[in-house]
């Protein structure tokens, strides 16, 4: 059943951008159903049917039955955002965040390229129940093909006139890790620099132009569209009691091309990944995610709550197996260097603390004792910034300390079980590149 | 309601005036940026207001304590 070996239906190959290369999108049971029929509105309507007629009470009723959590990484319940935006004073604005901050995440790009109208359906339904007149699409700066696909889908809908008086607005996010953060996105919409600013309250109350703003990740809107189309019971047909429905995963680094797959919640990771991958360390949840030790995912399901219990992050569904010949400590140092470089350099603790954190990780890789320094930096980084970039970087580093205790001890003795000793000590400047490899 | 000092991080330039006024609630980290270590009570609210007022980059705010 492993996705890399057997599949009944052929995959669809897409290219989010010229420099990224081809991405394999596997047909899925729900969101990625029928992707071989192309991204047109006609194809979409043939699969999903017409837009259901829903009011606020109806949507809240569905969401009471099925708790949809945001798919941008943090997993915030969509219901809470919707209720807050509906209850706040002023006309609401709906924002679709299709600018994935995690550079390794490709799931939103995959849906935008294969089923853009599913995203737009979810946004239109949400706008209608809120009485919103405008939907803002925030598009990824690094993926021109994704921008084209969503822009063309909007044009198709405008010609078709399906969305009534809803106005579509598009914005292009900067190519930067923190550009996709909620407050950074609202800054971009307001014509300011696309960087995080301090949030003094939920954007659902006061966001864009100080009005209620429902901002969610692109996949989240596809889940809303699926729920509206299927109803609570239909939606619950896949997934588990606690976490109904499916989720999208990006798998990159298992020796195959990067791929996006859709799996029901509760699916065993051993059914998703090959044995060869399960035997190796796997970075789950992306660069702000956590390391799973070798075999650490073997008896674990794809589940936000179960993984959280085990100290693992599902995040935005990014799965990065460690490549053969690479060392997890060295890999963590490279990713930390990359993340330090992605700081907006405006918040003091992030600007100073992330390079210090990189130094500490590098020290651990070199066999020195960095654990005390990492603990100390933890207190100086946690919740001390306009966004969670320092917190996410810290999570990655702390998970390295937890997952690779034995390996860290080996390094302290001058050994590495992943890389031959002769090649393990590359020069320091060379490590600052290649984190996104 | 208990009050809390919150830092607007992108605005804060680590000038340290808040720490000079209210060292019992605001320490400085190794880079000179404020570390808010306690909530504000009746005894400290006057100095806390002063700290908010003197910040040269207007980076300190007093908000209702969360949780």
Of B6, B14, B63, Cβ closest to residue A348: B14
φ, ψ at A155 (rounded to 5°) = -60, -40
Alpha-helical regions (H) of A266-346:
269-272, 275-278, 304-309, 328-341
Chain B nearest-CA distance from A385, in A, is 5
Is the confidence at residue A208, as pLDDT, over 50?
yes
Statement: residue A148 has pLDDT above 80: yes
Tokens of A302: 């794809």
* CATH level 3 topology of B3-64: Alpha-Beta Plaits (3.30.70)
Average of per-residue pLDDT values in chain A: 93
The neighbouring-strand residues paired with A348 are none
Give the pLDDT confidence of B1-53 residue by residue, as tens digits. 789 999 999 999 999 999 999 999 999 999 999 999 999 999 999 999 999 99
Query: Tens digits of per-residue pLDDT, A71-94?
Result: 998 899 999 999 999 999 999 999
To the nearest whole angstrom, how far is the Cα of B13 from the nearest Cα of chain A?
7
CATH for A20-235 is 3.40.50.11540
- For the cut 50, the answer to whether the pLDDT of residue A207 exceeds it is yes
Q: What percent of chain A has pLDDT over 90?
A: 89
- Number of Cβ atoms within 10 Å of the Cβ of A174: 18
Choose among A344, A297, A327: nearest CA to A407: A327
- Hey, CA dihedral for A275, A277, A282, A286, is it positive or negative? negative
CB contact under 8 Å between A200 and B61, yes or no, is yes
Put simply, the answer to whether A384 touches B63 (Cβ < 8 Å) is: no
CA torsion A260-A261-A264-A265 (nearest 10°) is: -40
Contacts of A8 (CB under 8 A, 6+ apart): none
Taking CA–CA distances from A385, the nearest residue in chain B reads: B9
Report the distance separating Cα A363 and Cα A345, nearest Å: 23
Q: How many CB atoms lie within 10 A of CB A391?
A: 16
Contacts of B8 in chain A (CB under 8 A): 198, 386
CB distance from A390 to chain B under 8 Å?
no
Mean pLDDT in residue range A324-338: 97
pLDDT value of residue A10:
85
Q: Using an 8 Å Cβ cutoff, are A318 and A260 in contact?
A: no
Task: Report ipTM for this prediction.
Answer: 0.96
Instruction: Report the topology of domain A266-437.
Output: de novo design (two linked rop proteins) (1.20.1440)
* Partners of residue A198 in chain B, C-beta under 8 Å: 6, 8-11
Instruction: Give the residue from A215, A285, A223 showing the smallest Cα distance to A250.
Output: A285
Can you give the pLDDT at residue A428?
41
Residues 6 or more apart whose CB falls under 8 angstroms from that of A37 comprise A43, A46, A47
Q: Which of A313, A21, A19 is nearest to A175 (CA)?
A: A19
Structural domain spans, chain A: 20-235, 266-437
Contact check, Cβ <8 Å, B8/A346: no
Residues A48, A60: Cα–Cα separation, whole Å: 21
How high is the pLDDT of residue A8? 56
The Cα of B46 is separated from the nearest Cα of chain A by a number of Å equal to: 22
- A42: Cβ contacts below 8 Å, ≥ 6 apart: none
pLDDT tens-digit series, residues A91-137: 999 999 999 878 899 999 999 999 999 999 999 999 999 999 999 99
Main-chain phi, psi angles of A232, to 5 degrees:
-55, -50
CA distance A430 to B51: 45
Is the distance from CB of B19 to CB of B25 less than 8 angstroms? no
* A-B Cβ pairs (cutoff 8 Å, strict): 43
- CB nearest B8 (choices: A198, A353, A380): A198
Sign of torsion, CA A56 A61 A62 A65?
positive
Contact A48, A118 (CB under 8 A): yes
CA A252 – CA A22 distance, rounded (Å): 12
- Is some CB atom of chain B closer than 8 A to the CB atom of A199? no
Half-sphere exposure of A343 (CA within 13 A, CB side): 25
Across B1-67, where does the E strand assignment appear? 3-7, 26-28, 34-36, 60-64
Residue A88 has phi, psi (to 5 degrees) of -80, 160
CB interface of A with B, residues 317-346, below 8 Å: 344, 346
> Are the C-beta atoms of residues B25 and B48 closer than 8 Å to each other?
yes
């Amino acid at each position: 059943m492993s996705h890399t070996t057997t599949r009944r239906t052929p995959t669809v190959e897409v290219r989010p951008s010229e420099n990224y290369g081809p991405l394999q999108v596997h047909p899925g049971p729900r969101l990625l159903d029928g992707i071989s029929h192309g991204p047109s509105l006609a194809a979409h309507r043939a699969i999903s049917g017409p837009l259901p007629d829903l009011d606020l009470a109806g949507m809240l009723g569905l969401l009471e039955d099925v708790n949809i959590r945001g798919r941008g990484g943090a997993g915030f319940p969509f219901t809470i955002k919707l209720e807050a935006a509906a209850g706040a004073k002023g006309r609401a604005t709906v924002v679709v965040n299709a600018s994935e901050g995690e550079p390794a995440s490709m799931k939103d790009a995959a849906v935008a390229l294969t089923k853009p109208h599913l995203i737009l359906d979810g946004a239109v339904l949400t706008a209608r129940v809120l009485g919103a007149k405008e939907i803002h699409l925030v598009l990824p700066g690094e993926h021109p093909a994704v921008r084209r696909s969503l822009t063309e889908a909007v044009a198709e809908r405008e010609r078709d006139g399906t969305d009534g008086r809803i106005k579509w607005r598009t914005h292009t996010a900067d190519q930067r890790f923190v550009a996709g953060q909620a407050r950074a996105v609202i800054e971009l919409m307001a014509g300011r620099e696309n960087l995080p600013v301090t949030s003094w309250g939920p954007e659902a109350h006061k966001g864009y132009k100080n009005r209620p703003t429902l901002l969610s990740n692109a996949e989240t809107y596809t889940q809303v569209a699926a729920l509206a189309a299927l109803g609570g019971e239909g939606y619950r047909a896949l997934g588990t009691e606690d976490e109904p429905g499916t989720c999208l995963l990006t798998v990159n680094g298992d020796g195959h091309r990067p791929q996006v797959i859709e799996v029901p919640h509760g699916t065993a990771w051993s059914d998703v990944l090959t044995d060869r991958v399960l035997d190796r360390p796997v970075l789950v949840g992306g660069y702000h995610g956590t390391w799973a030790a070798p075999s650490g995912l073997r008896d674990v399901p794809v589940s936000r709550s179960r993984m959280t219990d085990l100290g693992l992050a599902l995040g935005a569904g990014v799965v990065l197996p460690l490549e053969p010949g690479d060392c997890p400590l060295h890999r963590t140092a490279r990713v930390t260097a990359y993340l330090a470089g992605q700081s907006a350099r405006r918040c003091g603790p992030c600007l100073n603390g992330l390079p210090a954190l990189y130094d500490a990780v590098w020290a651990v890789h070199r066999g020195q004792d960095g654990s005390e320094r990492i603990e100390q930096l933890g207190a100086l980084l946690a919740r001390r910034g306009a966004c969670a970039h320092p917190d996410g970087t810290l999570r990655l580093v702390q998970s390295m300390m937890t997952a690779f205790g034995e390996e860290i001890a080996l390094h302290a003795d001058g050994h590495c079980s992943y890389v031959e000793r002769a090649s393990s000590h590359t020069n320091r400047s060379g490590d600052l590149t290649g984190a996104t490899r | 309601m208990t009050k809390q000092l919150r830092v607007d991080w992108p605005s804060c330039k680590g000038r340290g005036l808040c720490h000079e006024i209210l060292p019992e609630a605001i320490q400085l980290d190794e880079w000179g940026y404020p570390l808010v270590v306690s909530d504000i009570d009746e005894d400290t609210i006057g100095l806390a207001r002063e700290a908010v007022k003197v910040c040269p980059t207007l980076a300190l705010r007093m908000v209702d304590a969360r949780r």
